[in-house]
Structure 1
Amino acid sequence: EDIKGLVYKKRDSTPPRIHHNADRPVETNLDKFPFPAKHLILGNMQRKYYSSAAYENPISAIITTRGCPFQCTFCAKFFKVARFRSPENVLEEIQMIVEKERIKDLEIRDYTFNLRQQHNIAICKGIIKNRWDIHWRALVRPELLNEELLQHYKRSNCYMLSIGAESGSPRILRFLKKGYTVDQITRAFRLSDEHGIETSAYYIIGIPGETSDDIAKTFQLIRKTKPTYLVLQIYQPIPGNELYDLIATRGLAPAEHPPYSLFKGFDKPFLDLPNLPNKNLSRMRRLAIIRYLADVGYLSKLGQVIAKNPLRFPRNIRVMLRFLAA
């Protein structure tokens, strides 16, 4: 009971009641925390976890920030504040894992890496100055990408940017409170292509209130931007966020403590929308993925990826087969 921030079940009643201790104050100085004890992770486990689109093994991951200041209604992040590690602290950890783990691929696992341009540039300059033989990838916001950032990314061996485009429908983007436009999404993919950086695009279909016309606009945007990789998911409600509360008030999801058995994974519909039955939604997703994999633009980019590093060929084929199996 004295541990701040702990949530647990008390079995002094039937059913057991959930007890929430007082919140722990948020630590703003992230540099005071020790680096993760990565030596405790078996190398083979680490490779399996991060290797779906990796440039080269061995692989590791790092965070340069905690939290996210944006207001996306469907997201699992509840604290809308970002906290930053200093570039010096980040570079010190990278040096440690380069020397101890001999990594070749680094995944930056921030919710949004490009929140502060100068913070990013300082990290990129440190990677270049130290001449580390690594390639790296990160998740970025499309409207915050620009020529200067991408130049530093490329020079420091960034090989992939993941972009949460979410939808090709302006109406749905506003509904999700994404804070950017279709034009900004298109520009981000174009600039990444021009700088020779691969892209991984994240989209969601089956949003409450979405129509077949909205989904068609999403598929059009996928064809237009031609990402190197595509993650096309079906909406899954996450308790505690704004969109979940909305569907709960409409009786489409339990208001309190929903069992995990309700959630079926991002390739299966949770909601049976009146205008988009589950069967239709699954079929639309499947056809969109097949068309994406068969597109000349995708096959051309796949060829470029393999030409840069032939060792990625087996992994890319596995990714393609996994898409088709889904």
Structure 2
Amino acid sequence: MKVFFIIPPEKGIVDKPTSPQRGIACLAAVVRENKHDVAILDMRLGYNRKDMLDKVKEFNADLVCITTVTTDHKKVYEMVDLLKEKGFKVALGGPHVSAFKKKVIEDTKADYAVKREGEGALVKLCNGEDPKTIKGLIYRNEKEVIENEDDTFVREPDEMSFPAFDLFELDKYIDRKLPIITSRGCPYRCTFCSINLTSGFMFRPRSAKNVVDELEHWYKKGYKYFGFNDDNFTLLPERAEEICDQIVERGMKIKWELRNGIRIDKVNERLLRKMKNAGCMYVAFGVESADQEVLDNIKKGITAEKAKEAILLADKVGIKKGAFFIVGLPGDTYKKFLKTLKWALELPLDEVRFYNAVPYPATDFYKWVEENA
């Protein structure tokens, strides 16, 4: 089967993305490993819908797979219409599908949708298995939309292929940087976060050896800059230390950053020093608010004092650091925002980011907004 993956043209704070998309790279790798022809179009690099249709036609795709986020789902639905008009089979995936499930098929002309982690379902679909037997798949049966039971999450991430970054136009990204994910799943229950819809609550870490094997794989190809995009890189500090130790032991002169945010209660001076020694140049802390009532309302499980300690430790070690905050969470007020702003400005932070609270579908925060708006 010829499988064509599309990353829609989402706009960020800069005109082009800094690096390729890892999720699609992982899916492409397992599909290719199963002897299918695979291509990827990252429309964030400036491609329009005509380009999309031309490239899909040129590839003569049997199946077109599009990743979907809720903020841009309407644009994706329009892309589906265009592809279906030309007679292509279309499958949707990504966080939007995991949140809305069968409604995605009901609202579009797409043939299939894959919820949660998609490797297992997508490979089975490409291999020609009967859709009604494929866990995690949503599909059309004539005029009826069928949603199969959820597939199990990937239990042994070490067994997964390294992502197929070679299928991307790597010379067109802003940075010569590759995204790394060393674990899947998050055991925390922050009310605003939607990651559990896709990856679940069970923390499934890759071994330190497997992570550093991947880093070394790309390092030997000339890549020396990596973005660790985990939700919980330091959840097991000993594993994080081991990753750092192996980077040093293998003599890799790399730089890497943790811009996705880490738990402020899962760092210590020893770990931070090892991180810096292994090439970590930046770490972001997910603080959200300096007001304890707000932190308790969102089930963050931290205190502002603990956050301050972590930030000061990073400063002591000499790693550049930033902090994320969210404005408008349950219990927040303008006065509390000013309190949080003052708190942040008094700390030795190299970067501070304030975001508006967004109620992502199927999260506890979304339900709270429905009940209190």
Structure 2 residue 187 is matched with structure 1 residue 187: no
Q: How far apart in 2 are the matches of 1:173 and 1:84? A: 26
- Bigger helix fraction: 1
Q: Does the CA contact (< 8 Å) of 2:157 and 2:205 recur in 1?
A: yes
Could you tell me which residue of structure 2 aligns to residue 4 of structure 1? 135
Q: How far apart in 2 are the matches of 1:20 and 1:178? A: 33
Q: How far apart in 2 are the matches of 1:210 and 1:154? A: 35
Question: What is the count of residue pairs matched by the alignment?
Answer: 237
Q: How far apart in 1 are the matches of 2:250 and 2:281? A: 18
Instruction: Go from structure 1 to structure 2 and tell me whether the alpha carbon gap of 1:233 and 1:147 turns closer, same or farther (over 3 Å shift).
Output: same
Could you tell me which residue of structure 1 aligns to residue 251 of structure 2? 131
Q: Does the CA contact (< 8 Å) of 1:142 and 1:185 recur in 2?
A: yes
Q: Which amino acid aligns with 2:170?
A: G
Structure 2 residue 275 is matched with structure 1 residue 156: no
Q: Which amino acid aligns with 1:5?
A: G
Q: How far apart in 1 are the matches of 2:333 and 2:170? A: 45
Q: Could you tell me which runs of 5 or more consecutive residues in structure 1 were left unpaired when the two chains were aligned.
A: 52-57, 253-326
CA positional deviation for 1:9: 5.9
Q: Which amino acid aligns with 2:186?
A: C
Indicate the RMSD between aligned Cα atoms, in angstroms. 1.6
Does the residue aligned with 1:126 lie in a helix, a strand or coil? Answer: helix
Q: After TM superposition, list the pairs within 5 Å mapping 1:11-90 onto structure 2.
A: 12=143, 19-45=146-172, 47-48=173-174, 51=175, 58-78=176-196, 79-90=200-211
Does the residue aligned with 2:220 lie in a helix, a strand or coil? Answer: helix
Q: How far apart in 2 are the matches of 1:8 and 1:238? A: 24
Q: How far apart in 2 are the matches of 1:161 and 1:11? A: 50
**Same amino acid, percent of matched pairs:** 30
Q: How far apart in 2 are the matches of 1:236 and 1:131? A: 42
Q: Does the CA contact (< 8 Å) of 1:205 and 1:234 recur in 2?
A: yes
Q: Does the CA contact (< 8 Å) of 2:269 and 2:314 recur in 1?
A: no
Q: How far apart in 2 are the matches of 1:226 and 1:152? A: 21
Q: After TM superposition, list the pairs within 5 Å mapping 1:267-286 onto structure 2.
A: none
CA positional deviation for 1:8: 4.5
Structure 2 residue 236 is matched with structure 1 residue 116: yes
Q: How far apart in 2 are the matches of 1:8 and 1:214? A: 47
After TM superposition, the score normalised by the length of structure 2 is 0.61
Q: Does the CA contact (< 8 Å) of 2:264 and 2:285 recur in 1?
A: yes
Q: Which amino acid aligns with 2:211?
A: V
Q: How far apart in 1 are the matches of 2:262 and 2:365? A: 22
Does the residue aligned with 1:142 lie in a helix, a strand or coil? Answer: coil
Q: How far apart in 2 are the matches of 1:8 and 1:188? A: 47
- Bigger strand fraction: 2
CA positional deviation for 1:44: 2.8
Q: Does the CA contact (< 8 Å) of 1:168 and 1:220 recur in 2?
A: no
Instruction: Go from structure 1 to structure 2 and tell me whether the alpha carbon gap of 1:219 and 1:12 turns closer, same or farther (over 3 Å shift).
Output: same
Q: How far apart in 2 are the matches of 1:231 and 1:20? A: 39
Which deviates more, 223-232 or 117-126? Answer: 223-232
Q: Could you tell me which runs of 5 or more consecutive residues in structure 2 were left unpaired when the two chains were aligned.
A: 1-130
Aligned equivalent of 1:239, options 361, 364, 367: 361
CA positional deviation for 1:175: 0.6
Q: Which amino acid aligns with 2:136?
A: G
Instruction: Go from structure 1 to structure 2 and tell me whether the alpha carbon gap of 1:103 and 1:9 turns closer, same or farther (over 3 Å shift).
Output: same
CA positional deviation for 1:249: 2.7
Q: Which amino acid aligns with 1:223?
A: L
After TM superposition, the score normalised by the length of structure 1 is 0.69
